[in-house]
Amino acid sequence: MNSKLLFYILKRVFLAILTVWVVITVTFFVMHAVPGGPFMSEKAISASAQAALEAKYGLDKPLLEQYFTYLKDIITKFDFGPSLKQRGRMVIDIIGDGMKTSAKLGIIAAALAGISGIVLGSVAALRRNKLIDKVIMVITTAFVSMPSFIMGSLLLVLFAITWAILPANGATSGGLILPIVTLSLYPMAYITRLTRSSMLDVLGQDYIRTAKAKGVSGPKIIFGHALKNSLIPVITYFGPMLAYIVTGSLVVERIFAVPGIGRAFVSSITNRDYPMVMGTTIVLAVLIVVMNLISDILYKVVDPRINLE
Amino acid sequence: MDKKFTMHVDLDSFIPATGEEKEYMVQMRPSSTFFRDGMKRLLKNKVATVSLIIILIITISSLIIPAFWPYSYENMLGVKPGKPVDASYNNLAPFEYGKTEQAQIEAGKKVFPHIFGTDSSGRDYFIRVVYGTRISLVVGFFASIIVLIIGMTIGSIAGYFGGKVDLIIMRIVDIIYSLPDMLMVILLASVLKLTLGPVLEGTALEKIGSNIISLFIVFGVLYWVSMSRLIRGQILSLREQEYVLASQASGAKGGWIIRKHLLPNCISVVIISTALQIPNAIFTESYLSFLGLGVNAPMPSLGSLASDALNGLSSYPYRMVIPALVISLIVLSLNLFGDGLRDAFDPKLRN
């Protein structure tokens, strides 16, 4: 590993830490700018009870002190405080519970998108301008323009209501099939297009012609020479793909009633569970920032031709 | 002297050309401007032309139809002042009529049909879809204009002045760029919705609704970064051109050079990326509306219509399918048109 690469990695890690800090700070101050405070929607309560509640949650202290306590608790013990609406539960526990389902959903969707996207993209590139290439490109163009909530609703109407072959409720067994497919279609379409264009680029290179001239067989050229190099741009998409899956899962979990982190987040926004909103935002943001960091660094490590600007 | 020798000069070749001959030599093709060239290329692109026609049809009909349609988007047909609520108007299927309308038809009067039926509160669904389309288009358009103005200002300042100014601005851009945008949008939208409501009360902006204003603010705060990056890059290369040096030599100030020389030269890049920003904004608006953070009720947007349809999905799937199709159609044709625009006006950008 050369010093230039090391410097690049350090710079990116520093930027990532800075980003996470900005997210925490913005989240904290934005949430505390809301008028009325977290107990506004409660039934009319006496002033003393209000004061007792605020003292219990530390809301009576100066804002800056609250901020530093919050920051310290997150860094030292991953503590986002107690949930305001689900009494007696810590935010981090609720997030942990939701994460189990959501992680399963997200990882399977990402794997499905990655594998099918690469396969379809390669097929389209190898059969360029044939019927199958055109069909793949038309379908992927349509999928790329469809917001996730529309995709989810349409799949729900078709598969769970009109044909009734798959369960609509994400909490039942087999209920995750539709949410997974919904989440994976957009990244799959994107990866297909990415793979196709970079595969076409690679197939036009001199070393592929050399391999052909030496009499290397077709499949060996693709798997031995072309595929590896044409996957490099795909690596950069893994960060954005995770961000898509995280934000997509907010609506997809709502549509299919999946008991995951996305649904918990949306409902905590509607019933103003501030610590929950802040905690979830921060956890998901860290996840996205870290994935972006990894995919960017991996991109530079894998391809030494890329200059480190 | 009829016979010519080999070395003899042929005087006939030196007779002045007639007018007819001169006309023959004139170039037939009139000179063309950059814009006309681009339009020609754009219209040759069938996909882009069809997309443009679809966008125009959708836009014009969303502007015109509400003017003559007999129903309005907020009018609950079953609710008449001084009378009990007539529930027969709720959840009508397409081309069905409510009780009093039925009676009118039997009496021989003509009643305008509910093409898409009515929703669960007895509001004509067709006009809600039309109105929702209008809201989505307006939000998308103005959000992109806001992004354009902020991004262009900051990007051109960073690009022209360079040095420390550039460094500071670009570090801020880097941080905003690496923020997870959707999460921040949701956070800001959910908070602004609560904070802006009381502030706007009584002002002219109240009619637009706190949610749409907060949507614009969110766009202004978060989405200018990629536009400003793009413009900065353009300006960086343009400011090294000789005409800028000439302008500086004759005493022009920074702002003048940016406005008169640099921005007009990156106008095609700006138009293209604004065009591609519009579907993005429509997408974000419908996403937020779907989560309940979009336009204020009873105003519909395509996202909130889809979100409302989720509750009665098993009985009225068409209420989900219609706004879904309209959004997809708008986003798809805007994207394809933007691609066509890029191919026509900036061949350098093509990958």
Q: Residue A13's pLDDT is what?
A: 92
Q: Provide the ipTM.
A: 0.80
Which residue in the set A30, A147, A156 is minimally distant from B327, CB to CB?
A147
Contact A146 B174 (CB under 8 A): no
Does B51 fall in a domain?
no
Does B332 fall in a domain?
yes
Interface check A255 vs B, CB under 8 A: yes
Q: Residue A164's pLDDT is what?
A: 83
Q: Which helix (H) or strand (E) holds B18?
A: none
Q: Residue A307's pLDDT is what?
A: 59
Interface of B with A (CB under 8 A): 174-175, 178-180, 182-184, 186-188, 190-191, 194-195, 198, 279, 283, 286-287, 290-293, 303, 306-307, 309-310, 313-314, 317, 320-321, 324, 327-328, 331-332, 335-336, 351
Does B17 fall in a domain?
no
Angle at A117 between CA A116 and CA A120, to 5 degrees: 80
pLDDT at A35 over 70: no
**CATH label of the domain that carries residue B268:** 1.10.3720.10
Q: Residue A41's pLDDT is what?
A: 52
DSSP A97-138: HHHHHHHHHHHHHHHHHHHHHHHHHHHHHHTTTSHHHHHHHH
pLDDT at A130 over 60: yes
CB pairs under 8 A between A and B: 119
Interface check A230 vs B, CB under 8 A: no
- Residues B241-266 have pLDDT tens digits of 888 889 989 988 888 888 888 877 88
Q: Residue B12's pLDDT is what?
A: 78
Q: Which distant-in-sequence residues (6+ apart) come within 8 Å of A141 by Cβ?
A: A189, B332, B336
Q: A276-280, B96-100, B242-246: which range is least confident on average?
A: B96-100
Contact B190 A157 (CB under 8 A): no
- Residues A157-170 have pLDDT tens digits of 888 888 888 888 87
Average pLDDT taken over every residue of chain A = 85
| Phi-psi label, residue A57: left if phi above 0, alpha if psi -120 to 50, beta otherwise | alpha
Does B96 fall in a domain?
no
Q: Residue A195's pLDDT is what?
A: 92
| % chain A with pLDDT above 70 | 94
Does B8 fall in a domain?
no
Find the mean pLDDT for residues A131-144: 90
Cα-based distances in Å from B173 to A112, A239, B145, B221: 33, 19, 19, 11
Which two structure tokens, joined as six digits, stand for A186? 């957009």
Contact B291 A15 (CB under 8 A): no
> Which range has highest mean pLDDT (A33-47, A106-120, B198-212)?
A106-120
Q: Residue B60's pLDDT is what?
A: 94
Burial B69-94 (b: 16+ CB within 10 A, else e): bebebeebbbeeeeeeebebbbbbee
Higher pLDDT among residues A222 and A22, named by residue: A22
Q: Residue A117's pLDDT is what?
A: 94
Output phi, psi for A90, to 5 deg: -85, 145
Q: Residue B351's pLDDT is what?
A: 42
Site from B192, B290, B335 to mutate, A interface, most A CB atoms within 10 angstroms? B290
Q: Name the A residues in 256-275 with CB < 8 Å from any B CB.
A: 266, 269-270
Q: Residue B350's pLDDT is what?
A: 46
pLDDT at A86 over 50: yes
- A309 pLDDT tier (thresholds 50, 70, 90): very low
Interface check A138 vs B, CB under 8 A: no
Please report the domains of chain A, with CATH numbers, ordered by start residue.
3-77 (no CATH), 98-302 (1.10.3720.10)
Residue B297 belongs to domain spanning? 125-349
Contact A147 B286 (CB under 8 A): yes
Find the mean pLDDT for residues B35-51: 87
Interface check A16 vs B, CB under 8 A: yes
One-letter amino acid at B88 equals S
- Residues A191-247 have pLDDT tens digits of 999 999 999 888 888 988 998 899 888 788 888 888 888 888 888 888 888 888 888
- Residues B142-200 have pLDDT tens digits of 999 999 999 989 998 998 888 899 999 988 898 888 888 888 888 888 888 777 777 77
Output phi, psi for B297, to 5 deg: -65, 150
Q: Residue B102's pLDDT is what?
A: 77
Does B200 fall in a domain?
yes
Does B247 fall in a domain?
yes
The number of distinct structural domains making up chain B is: 1
Q: Residue A131's pLDDT is what?
A: 93
Cβ count within 10 A of residue A56: 10
pLDDT at A151 over 80: yes
Find the DSSP H helices in chain A: 3-32, 47-56, 63-77, 91-126, 131-144, 148-155, 177-203, 206-213, 218-220, 227-230, 232-236, 238-256, 261-270, 274-302
Cβ pair A105, A260 in contact under 8 A:
yes
Cβ pair A171, B348 in contact under 8 A:
no
Integer Cα distance of A218 and A216 in angstroms = 7
- A184 pLDDT tier (thresholds 50, 70, 90): very high
Site from B47, B54, B171, B187 to mutate, A interface, most A CB atoms within 10 angstroms? B187
